[in-house]
Each structure stands twice: as structure tokens, then as C-alpha cells.
Chains A and B, each alone.
Chain A
Amino acid sequence: MTVKNELIKSILASIWFMFLTFPIMVIKVNTVTDTVEWRWYNMAVVGIGSFFISMLWRYLIRKKEEGSKKEKKDTVGPVQRILQDKKYFLPGIGAALLFTIFFPHIFSMYQTNIMISALIYVMLGLGLNIVIGLAGLLDLGYVAFFAVGAYSYALLNLHYGVTFWIALPLGGLIAAFFGIILGYPVLRLRGDYLAIVTLGFGEIIRLVLENWNEFSFGPSGIANIPKPGFFGFELSLQATTTFTFYIIVLLVLFTIFVINRLQNSRIGRAWSALKDDEVACQAMGIDKAKTKLRAFALGATWAGMGGVVFAAKTTFINPASFTIWESVIILCTVVLGGMGSIAGVMCGALLLILLPEYLRDFGEFRMITFGTVLVLMMVFRPGGIIENVRNTYKFEKSSQS
């Protein structure tokens, strides 16, 4: 009789969702002509869709519950096995590197530009991963530091002629400085308050940029930001794009290196512990505020550097590029990929940024998909597509004991 039960449940869900979506999905009032458009087709789609989705949903929930009854395992998925196996790992990395090196020469400048954007997101994702994946701090104002970096370069260049190469570390430092200034007072707060306060800070920075015309040129933004220079040589547009591509690739590699080192260090472990249990963490002698502040400032540094690259790449910035939704997109790449996992975050960022680019029709569904991804990942796979695995240590002694 379970089949019958399932069917009934699905039909009920289907009816419920048809009811729920009725006014918004079916009726559309045209206020100019004063006519109503009845879109019954939508109702049919919702009805049939929710019938099957509810079945799938219940199946997945049941599977998840069964899974959680079993011992919690540090499951090593196929992806990690490949990542850990030197036999596949090294050639894989080699191939990826070769592909990256030749990418700008194989594909058009347009493609290269898209790839640069995607890699900027990879860098931002990895930076946010320090804050949220490693240290467990939900920072919804991350894009503010991205803005700080971008505006640092744009303004320093405008007023003092500071070049890209000097602005890059400087942008990172200024963003880190902001991170510390903002982080210091708020890091004592509980996790969910932190999310709201960082969101508030993100909006404050954007609104200030938007309204303080004398400083930031308001909504019209700053144009003619120079692209990265190559030892003072004049490069063609094509060559500059290729050059920018290599710069961002190197930056991503640098980021991976740093995060990998951090993750397997005393600081990385402290972050991880802080994420698990703050009280116990303090009782182990870890300074909560200082440890959090370090994660916050480091994350901001990467956002700042990403911002400098972004400004140099687009040559034009305005506050509209730094809305809260940008933070949410970056958050989404981290969550989808796998909080704390470097490979995961990279995959997440590439997937989420490249897919909508190539699926043109999909463009308008971009944000709604992000929303769905956030909910579904949290409900069914909070670890992300490539889950982070913990370091293990080998001991000769352990075989004897």
C-alpha cells in the first residue's frame, strides 16, 4: 500500500502547490489595458512538476535520514580519491595547466574575457572560503571588500597615477585594513548576528559610494581605469587580455597555495575548531576574537586583490557592481562547491559563473537557480559537491599499539 500512499501524498503536494502558485503564476493583470491574462499552462506545469518533485523530495529525505542513522563517516568520494591518487592527480594537474596556458591562444578574446571573470570569482570564492568554509563566519558583506579593492585602484590611479602592480598588494592591504576595522567590533557577535551586520556593512559601503559624489563619483562610477601594464610596453587589446588572463591565473594559483598552507596549519585548525564549538575552543586557549579577525582580514585581502583585478579588467566600475547579490553569488559558489574544500570551491565558481554564460536562454533563471541551489545544498548535501576531507596522520607506532 506504500505505492498508493506515495501517490496520494504526491497528488496532495501537487494540489497544494497549484493552489499556492495560483495568483502569482496563473493570473497576470495588465494594468494598462485592464485585462487579465490567465496562464493555465503554468498551473499544469506546476501541478505535474510538483507531483514528481515531491516524490523525489520525499525519497531523498528518507535516504538522508537513513544515512544519518548510520555512523557519521568521513566519506571519501570518487572525486577525492582521484584528487588524492598521485597516478591521476599529477597528469590531471599537468593537463589542466597546459590547457590554461594555451587557453587564450586557442579561444577568442571574448572567451578569454569570460574566463577572466570566472577566475576572478574563483579567487573571490576561495577568499570567502577562508571566512566561511574554514572559520565558519557567515559574511554577507564580502563584496564590500571587493569594492574597496576596486575603488582603491581606480581612485589611487586617478589621483596619484598608481599603477596596477602597486595597487594590487595595496588594494589587498586596504581591504584587510577595512576588514579589521569592521571586524573588530562585530566579531564578538553570535554567528547569525554577524551575517546581518556584515550585510549591513556591505550596504553601507555601497550606499556611501553611491551618494558621496565628491569622493567616488556616485552612480556614474569611474571610467578609463588602465589595464595592467607590462613593464611599460604598449600592448594590443588582445595581448592585454591574454596578459590579464595570466595574471589572474597566477593569482588563483597563489591563492590555492596560501589556503592550502593555512588549512593544514595551527591557525587553520583553530578556525576549524572555532567552527565546531566556540566555548570549547576558548577553553583550549584559543583567542576567539583574534582568530576570527585573522580569517576576516585574510578573506578581505583576497577580495581586495580581486577588486583590483576586476577594475583593471573592466576599466570601468560603479557601485552597481557591488550589490548584496554579488555577495550572495559568491556565497553560492562556496556552498555549492563545498565549504572548506579548495577543489570544490573552484568547481562551484566555474560552474555557477560559466554555465549561465553559455546557456544564454538560462540567463534570466540565473538568480532563481542560485536561490534553489542554496536551499537544496543545505538540505541534502551541506558539504557541497566536493566535500572537504580531514587531514590524517600516519604513525609507525600506531601499527604496534
Chain B
Amino acid sequence: MDFHITYMADDSHNRRDESRFKNIYLLRLSYKTGSRTGLNMDLEYFSQLFFGGLTRGSIYALIALGYTMVYGIIELINFAHGEIYMIGAFTALIVSSVLTLFGMPVLAVVVLAGMAAVVYSCSYGYTMEKIAYKPLRNAPRLSALISAIGMSLFLQNYVLLAQTSDFLPFPSLIPDFEFWEPYAHILTSPELVILITTVVVMILLTFLIKFTKIGKAMRATSQDKMMASLLGINVDRVISVTFVVGSATAAIGGILIASHIGQINFYMGFIAGIKAFVAAVLGGIGSIPGAVLGSLVLGWTESFFTGYISSDYEDVFAFLFLVLILIFRPSGILGRSQAQKV
């Protein structure tokens, strides 16, 4: 893998140069950028980009949901959310490797590894909230934000030290389906699975929030914490549940993307997390359909931008996008623009 330890120009500071693998880990969804001749090819290229963007967007959506839910409830940008996604992928890899070595059948490995990843991501999300955010519930927002950055830094380096700084190959958990063969040149089977999973998760989540008791409690808490607690809602519990649910969706995203790209690294969560955040803001932070919509829009724009214009500036583009949205429409596509109550 293209990973070196280089030294910072300043000889007295040797630190790992993260920028080396800045782009590698991004969602590179194999575009065949072969020769493009004729209308037919153009159409096919276009549909590749379209579905590539859709897949990319679905994965952003799985991560963005966690951001948006947490923000909706405690108005905190959980910087460490991308790290949860990374830990989900690592857990899946470790568990699946061990089980494979024990000689378990593939299907059992996939299911168990997936479950382990979700359980562990949720546990990390839960613990993180208890340690780094709960004591800061009444502190200035700046404090919680700094704490979140610290948590992100901690988790990245925790995995780096306990595991490795190298890229690890990740087994392709999703097989190529035979029945899908005719369409595979436009949308591969793994991409199909990603899309379907995302849709299912989305439906479950909507159900959870609209129709269950805890979902109602979540909505109440997000509107007015004080009032909710007066009405007997256990706000601490609602917040914990939010972190757990957000972490679970992130873990699913982590496994899907890792198996799709075929490699993971301790740094994978950071940029993906930032981009998912961009998506959440784009859609209107705090709004769940917004997060999905924003993710798809970001996925498509990135996909078409890199496909038709240039892939060198892909990340620049994503950040520029964020800046422009925040400046011109800070409430996002579906967000309610609200005057702050004074």
C-alpha cells in the first residue's frame, strides 16, 4: 500500500504525515474512465457516474444520520462520529478474520461480524457520550466541541496504536449475485446491496422516530429539553439512545464501504465523517430526510465533478460546497430557517 512514514520538514518533529493517504481512503467507487466514444458510451459513463454517486450518497447518508440525530437533540457536532464508523469497520474486520481462521462458514462470518460491528460501535458511541459529552451538558458549546475533537483524536490514535497504521485489506463480504449479472456493468452487486441496505435503514429509522415511544421522546427532547424533562422524559436516556442509534447506522455504513473498497485504515473515519457532516448541513442539520437528501446531492455532485472535470480537487470541492451552503443557505435544503429565540 502506498503508505510511508515521512518526516515533517522540521527535523525535530517527526510525526506521521497524514496527508500521504488523504485521498486514498475516500470513497473511490471504481469508475471506468476508459475511452469515451459515441453517444452510447457517454450514456453508459453517465449512468455509471449517476449510480456511483447514488452509492456514495447512500453511504454518506448512513453516516450523516448520526450527525443529524445527535445535533437535533443536543446541538453538538459530534466530531468523533466518523471514528465510530471507523471502529465499526475495524471490529468487523477483526471479528471476521478470527472467525474465518476458526473455519466458520462464510454466511455465519458475515452475519456475526456485522452484528459485532454494530454492537461495538453502539457501545463506543454510548461510552463516548458518557465520558466526553455528558459532563459538559451545561457547559458552553465551545467546550463540548473541543471535547469532541479530543475524542476524535483519541479514538484515531487508539486504533493506530492498538492495531496498525497500515491499510488493512478488507474481505469483500458481499458476493456478486448471478441474477444481477445483466445490470452489473452499470451498478455492481455490492452497490446494489449498499443501496438496499440504506433504504431499509432509512425506513426503520423513520419508523422508530415517528411511531415508537422513544422516538416521540426524542422529538420532544429535540424541541425543548427542559420541557421534556418536566414532562417526565428521561433526557439522559434519550440522548444515550440517540448516540446508540446513530452509531449503529454509522457501523453499517462502515462495513458496507469497507467491504466495497476492500481496505481500511485508522484514518478512514475523519474525512468521511467531515463529508457526511457536509451532507447533513446541506440537507438541513437536525432533519433526517434532509440528511438523506443532502447526502445524495453531495454524492452526485462529487461523482459528476470527479467524472467530468477533475479528481485532483475532489476534497477541495466538497469543502467549497460546504462553505457555500453555510454562507448562502445555512439552514440547508430542508432545514427550517428559524430566528433564534431571544
Contact = CB atoms under 8 A, between A and B. Distances in A.
A25 B162 contact: yes
A85 B20 CA distance: 50
Given A29-B101, A140-B149, 13 more contacts: A19-B123, A113-B11, A117-B12, A117-B13, A186-B327, A201-B319, A204-B316, A208-B313, A320-B17, A365-B161, A371-B151, A374-B150, A378-B136
B135 interface: yes
Interface stretch (A93-101, A188-196, A250-258): A188-196
A61 B137 CA distance: 13
A379 interface: yes
Interface residues of A, number: 82
B136 A185 contact: no
Contact of B19 (A31, A117, A193, A210): A210
A45 to B, nearest CB: 11
Given A31-B97, A204-B319, A321-B9, A364 B123 contact: no
Contacts of A61: 135
Interface stretch (A226-234, A241-249, A323-331): A323-331
**Chain A: interface secondary structure?**
helix
A321 B8 contact: yes
**Chain B: interface secondary structure?**
helix
B168 A31 contact: yes
Contacts, number: 207
B322 A378 contact: no
Contacts of B20: 320
Contacts of B95: 23
B100 to A, nearest CB: 9
Contacts of A365: 157, 161
Interface in B156-198: 156-163, 168-169
Nearest to B321: A200
A381 to B, nearest CB: 11
Interface in A370-398: 370-379, 382
Contacts of A210: 19, 22
Interface stretch (B29-37, B38-46, B86-94, B301-309): B86-94
Contacts of B90: 23-24
Nearest to A370: B153
Interface stretch (B140-148, B211-219, B237-245, B248-256): B140-148
Interface stretch (A296-304, A311-319, A342-350): A311-319
Given A24-B90, A374-B150, A320 B6 contact: yes
Q: Which 7 A-B pairs have the closest CB atoms?
A: A374-B150, A371-B154, A371-B153, A200-B319, A368-B157, A375-B150, A378-B147
Contacts of B141: 191-192
- The residue in B87, B116, B278, B315 that gathers the most chain A C-beta atoms within 10 A of its C-beta is B315
16 contacts: A23-B91, A27-B98, A189-B330, A191-B142, A211-B312, A310-B10, A332-B150, A367-B15, A367-B157, A368-B157, A370-B150, A371-B154, A371-B156, A374-B147, A379-B131, A379-B135
Contact of A138 (B17, B145, B169): B145
A114 to B, nearest CB: 5
A390 B168 CA distance: 52
Given A36-B101, A192-B77, A363-B14, A375 B131 contact: yes
Contacts of B142: 132, 136, 138, 191
B203 interface: no
Given A375-B150, A379-B147, A314 B157 contact: no
Contacts of A136: 142
B222 interface: no
Contact of B15 (A193, A207, A366): A366
A208 B316 contact: yes
A308 B48 CA distance: 46
B98 A36 contact: yes
A363 B8 CA distance: 14
Given A195-B145, A197-B322, A375-B150, A27 B135 contact: no
Interface string B321-342: 0110011001000000000101
